[in-house]
């Protein structure tokens, strides 16, 4: 697969699975059922009635006639056991008890997994909440530190900056403002 450049791996996977299913059906099922092959001597159970749909017909009663293909085998259906379609088959009490016990065990297992999942979600939520609170505290601490440093710098350089700013404004308004780079003012 590494040597083949395939753009759609999922599509390739689907094609391979469907191909495997078709090959299995062809080799392991009776060819008469797969390809709707019937002997020319047999007629459908409905005699000369026309079919409405085009699905395959699988007949229960088979006649032992010669196969139509050379080397073809006449498939034999296993004897069907009579089942009770009206209700569930009777189960002995011990088997029913085992089924009930297994069902109860599986339900308890599912509930335990659900509780564990909820507990893990609660722990994760609590961890995220704690992390956000820590980030908020750190942000506030940095802002307080910045505000403190700003206030310190304002006290230290505030008057000088105000005086320098006032002089620059006055010079600008007077028209004798200096320009950077030694060029003429625009």
What would the pLDDT profile of 103-160 be if each residue is shown by its tens digit? 999 999 999 999 999 999 999 999 999 999 999 999 999 999 999 999 999 998 876 6
Q: Is residue 118 part of a domain?
A: yes
Between CA 25 and CA 33 the distance in angstroms is 10
State mean pLDDT over 15-32.
85
Q: Is residue 147 part of a domain?
A: yes
> How many residues are given for the chain?
186
- Tell whether pTM > 0.75: no
Q: What range defines the domain where residue 26 resides?
A: 7-39
Q: Which residues contact 33 (CB under 8 A, 6 or more apart)?
A: 56, 58, 75
Q: Is residue 94 part of a domain?
A: no
Q: Is residue 24 part of a domain?
A: yes
Residue with the bigger pLDDT between 145 and 169: it is: 145
Number of domains present in the structure of the chain:
2
Task: Indicate whether 67 pLDDT > 50.
Answer: no
The per-residue pLDDT for 62 is 47
Segment 35-54, tens digit of pLDDT: 666 665 655 554 455 555 55
Q: Is residue 85 part of a domain?
A: no
Q: Taking a C-beta distance cutoff of 8 angstroms, is the pair 83, 89 a contact?
A: yes
User: Exposed, middle or buried by CB within 10 Å (0-12, 13-18, 19+), for 32?
Assistant: buried
Residue with the bigger pLDDT between 180 and 171: it is: 171
Q: Is residue 96 part of a domain?
A: no
Q: Is residue 66 part of a domain?
A: no
Q: Is residue 21 part of a domain?
A: yes
Q: How many CA atoms lie within 13 A of 138 on its CB side?
A: 6
């Amino acid at each position: 697969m590494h040597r083949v450049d395939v753009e759609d791996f999922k599509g390739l996977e689907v094609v391979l699975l469907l191909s495997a299913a078709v090959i299995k059906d062809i080799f392991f099922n009776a060819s008469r059922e797969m390809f709707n092959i019937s002997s020319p001597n047999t007629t459908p159970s409905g005699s000369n009635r026309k079919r409405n749909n085009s699905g395959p017909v699988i007949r229960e009663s088979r006649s032992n006639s010669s196969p139509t293909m050379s080397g073809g085998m006449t498939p034999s259906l296993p004897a069907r056991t009579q089942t009770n379609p009206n209700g569930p088959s009777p189960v002995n009490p011990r088997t029913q008890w085992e089924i009930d016990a297994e069902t109860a065990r599986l339900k308890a297992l599912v509930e335990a997994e659900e509780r564990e999942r909820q507990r893990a979600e609660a722990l994760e939520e609590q961890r995220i909440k704690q992390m956000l609170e820590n980030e908020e505290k750190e942000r506030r601490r940095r802002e307080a530190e910045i505000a403190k440093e700003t206030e310190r710098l304002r006290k230290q350089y505030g008057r000088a900056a105000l005086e320098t700013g006032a002089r620059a404004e006055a010079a600008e308004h007077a028209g004798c403002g200096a320009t950077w780079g030694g060029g003429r003012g625009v």
